[in-house]
């Protein structure tokens, strides 16, 4: 029994890893006993199909950084690029799922720049739009019942959709 555990088992796993790709074998595990690791550098989520595999010798994980107590239930080893990150389920819930940015529309009276518009992303990722107008347009925009005010309001609502 001891010989089987310490000699035959590792030999069989090495043979399986070496011949697995040759014989068309694959693994449904991210890193199985056969040493095949799923490749997901284009993005991956729970339940996504495995698109490719490559051989990773298990010894590569011997001195790998550990960010918690180690492999336990529901965990798996990972090799990630420097510009990639792994998010916890809680962090995923906090991440906005395609949320639309808030839009701030400022109307500034400046006859020398009348008709010009500036648009930029602010520090929060929202959009700031500044429209420069002449004195008459500014006066009309400040009046809630004016046609200028209604048009600006409608355009703001369309931009948020």
Residue 14 confidence (pLDDT) above 60: no
**Phi, psi dihedrals of residue 24, rounded to the nearest 5°:** 85, 10
Phi, psi of 155 (to 5 degrees): -65, -35
pLDDT for 85: 76
Residue in the structure block whose two tokens are 């529309």: 105
pLDDT band at residue 161 using 50, 70 and 90 as cut-offs? very low
Least confident window among 93-97, 123-127, 132-136: 93-97
Decide if pLDDT at 6 tops 50.
Answer: no
pLDDT tens by residue, 31-64: 444 566 666 656 666 566 666 777 878 887 788 7
**pLDDT reading at 18 higher than 70:** no
User: Regarding predicted confidence, which is higher, 72 or 149?
Assistant: 149
Q: Find the range with the poorest average confidence among 31-45, 60-74, 145-159.
A: 31-45
Residue indicated by tokens 């355009």? 155
The answer to which of 36-50, 124-138, 140-154 has the lowest mean pLDDT is 36-50
> Which pLDDT score, from 0 to 100, does residue 153 have?
78
Mean pLDDT for 106-122 is 85
Query: What average pLDDT score do residues 6-23 get?
Result: 50
Query: Higher model confidence: residue 133 or residue 120?
Result: 120
- Read off the pLDDT of each residue in 135-144 and give the average, rounded to a whole number: 76
CB contact at 8 A, 106 and 128:
yes
Q: Match 């069989």 to its residue by tokens.
A: 12
Q: Can you list the positions of beta strands (E) in the chain?
A: 36-38, 53-55, 103-109, 117-121, 127-133
* Span 10-26, average pLDDT: 48
């Amino acid at each position: 029994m001891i010989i089987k555990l310490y000699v035959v088992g590792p030999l069989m796993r090495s043979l399986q890893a070496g011949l697995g790709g040759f014989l068309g074998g694959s693994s449904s595990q991210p890193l199985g006993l056969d040493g095949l690791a799923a490749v997901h550098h284009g993005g991956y989520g729970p339940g996504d199909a495995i698109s490719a595999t490559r051989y990773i010798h298990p010894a590569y994980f011997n001195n790998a950084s550990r960010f918690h107590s180690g492999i336990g239930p529901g965990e798996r080893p990972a090799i990630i690029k420097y510009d990639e990150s792994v998010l916890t389920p809680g962090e995923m819930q906090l991440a906005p799922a395609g949320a639309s940015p808030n839009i701030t529309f400022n109307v500034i009276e400046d006859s020398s720049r009348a008709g010009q518009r500036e648009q930029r992303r602010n520090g929060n990722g929202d959009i700031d739009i500044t429209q420069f107008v002449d004195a008459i347009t500014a006066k009309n925009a400040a009046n809630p019942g004016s046609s200028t005010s209604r048009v600006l309001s409608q355009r703001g609502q369309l931009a948020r959709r």
